[in-house]
């Protein structure tokens, strides 16, 4: 018992005051990219050609953050003249098109479905489905339950049964072997229901794009309401997305 009290004292209170107070992530974190429109076309094209994810369109001067894994190679290659990754973790969007960006995203709170706010603003229960996710999206979603983030203080929680859920949160590129399980879990959630695609895999197939063994795009199976990019999305990206979209 004494050890319990001693450890309690030593560990202290660690919960973040976000969103009342802002959080600054370490400068090396790669968040929302900016595509510098004045960049030399030749350089832009060579970065686009070298992108391991083929996520850059050098003609339209946009990057698809639904496909990008934020590996940062384009920033190194262009020495920051073509693309720079900012510290901004606010990456989520309500439409797939919005993820083709040159550096700004539509304000998420205004683009959410307003009746969702009314229905789920005070209580949101989600069923997480890992559909061939590599466990980094899953781990960084799980972490929202730890004391630092303490997701439950917002009335948001991940639940065990789809019957208890208001929606599903899907990670991974949806392997063919998980297709049926995703669909039946979705069907088991009572309507009206929310569908969240988290991580570049569920949005575009991510690193596994082109594989014959995956579906690769959740929206081709069921209509997606909220897209949370990243590889994986930083827990703050997910927290921001949930608060903006539903609160």
Partner 1 sequence: MDKLLQVQNGEAVSRRDIPDLPFRDFQKVVLSKTDHSGFPVQFFAYENEEKELKLITVIRSGTHLYTAGCSLPEEFPSLTAKCEKFHMFEREIAEQFGARPKDHPWLKMVRYHANYRGKEDVFGNDYRVDIPGNYPYFSVDGHSIHEVAVGPVHAGIIEPGHFRFQCAGEKVFSLEIQLGYQHRGVEKLLEQAGQPLNRLPVICESIAGDTAIGHSLCHSQAIEALAGLEVDKGSKIIRSVALELERLANHIGDLGALSGDVAFNPPLNYFGRIRGEFLNLSLTMAGNRFGKGLVRPGGISFPVGEEQRQIMINKVIDETQGIDHVCDLLFSAHTVLARFENTGTVPRELAEKIGLVGYSGRASGLSYDARVAFPTELFGEMEANRNNRTVGDVCSRATVRREEIMHSLDAIPKLLSKNIDAEPLPVPASHTLAADSFVVTINEAWRGELSHCLLTNKEGAILRYKVKDPSFHNWTGLSMSLRNQGISDFPLCNKSFNLSYCGFDL
Restricted to residues 54-93, the positions that interact with partner 1 (CB under 8 A) are: 69-73, 76-77, 85
Site for partner 1 contains 152 (CB under 8 A)? no
CA distances from 219 to 27, 61, 204 (A): 33, 25, 9
Give me the least distance between CB of 43 and partner 1, in Å please: 12
Interface with partner 1, residue 198, by CB under 8 A: no
33 binds partner 1 (CB under 8 A): no
Residue 175 binding partner 1, by CB under 8 A: yes
Q: For partner 1, what does the binding mask look like between residues 125 and 144, x meaning CB under 8 A?
A: ---xxxxxxxxxxxxxxxx-
Contacts within 8 Å (CB) and 24+ apart, 48-57: 50/74, 50/77, 53/200, 53/206, 53/207, 53/209, 56/83, 57/100
Q: What tokens were used for 7?
A: 């450890």
Reported as type and span, the H/E element at residue 227 is strand 226-228
Pick one of 19, 106, 121, 147: the residue that binds partner 1 (CB under 8 A).
147
Asked if 18 interacts with partner 1 (CB under 8 A), we say: no
- Identify the residue among 18, 211, 222, 247 touching partner 1 (CB under 8 A): 211
Please give the radius of gyration of the chain, using alpha carbons only, rounded to the nearest integer.
19
Token readout for 190 is 């009572």
Question: Does 207 contact partner 1 by CB under 8 A?
Answer: yes
Site for partner 1 in 109-128 (CB under 8 A): 128
Q: Is the dihedral of CA 156, 159, 162, 168 positive or negative?
A: positive
Out of 52, 106, 190, 192, point to the residue binding partner 1 (CB under 8 A): 52
Residue closer to partner 1 by CB (options 12, 223) is: 12
In the complex, minimum distance from the CB of residue 157 to partner 1, in angstroms, rounded to a whole number: 11
Q: Which residues contact 220 (CB under 8 A, 6 or more apart)?
A: none
């Amino acid at each position: 018992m004494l050890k319990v009290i001693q450890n309690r004292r030593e560990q202290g209170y660690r919960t973040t005051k976000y969103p009342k107070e802002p959080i600054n992530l370490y400068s090396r974190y790669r968040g929302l990219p900016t595509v510098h429109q004045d960049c030399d076309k030749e350089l832009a094209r060579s970065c686009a050609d070298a992108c391991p994810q083929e996520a850059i369109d050098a003609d339209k001067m946009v990057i698809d953050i639904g496909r990008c894994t934020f590996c940062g190679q384009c920033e190194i290659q262009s020495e920051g003249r073509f693309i720079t990754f900012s510290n901004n973790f606010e990456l989520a969007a309500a439409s797939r098109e919005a993820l083709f960006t040159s550096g700004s995203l539509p304000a998420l709170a205004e683009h959410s479905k307003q009746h969702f706010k009314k229905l789920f603003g005070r209580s949101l229960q989600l069923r997480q489905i890992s559909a061939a996710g590599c466990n980094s999206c899953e781990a960084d979603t799980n972490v929202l339950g730890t004391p630092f983030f303490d997701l439950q203080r917002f009335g948001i929680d991940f639940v065990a049964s789809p019957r208890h859920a208001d929606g599903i949160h899907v990670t991974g590129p949806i392997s063919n072997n998980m297709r049926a399980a995703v669909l039946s879990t979705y069907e088991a959630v009572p309507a009206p229901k929310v569908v969240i695609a988290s991580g570049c895999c569920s949005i575009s197939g991510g690193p596994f794009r082109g594989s014959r063994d995956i579906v690769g795009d959740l929206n081709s199976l069921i209509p997606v309401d909220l897209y949370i990019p990243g590889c994986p999305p930083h827990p703050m990206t997910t927290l921001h997305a949930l608060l903006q979209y539903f609160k």
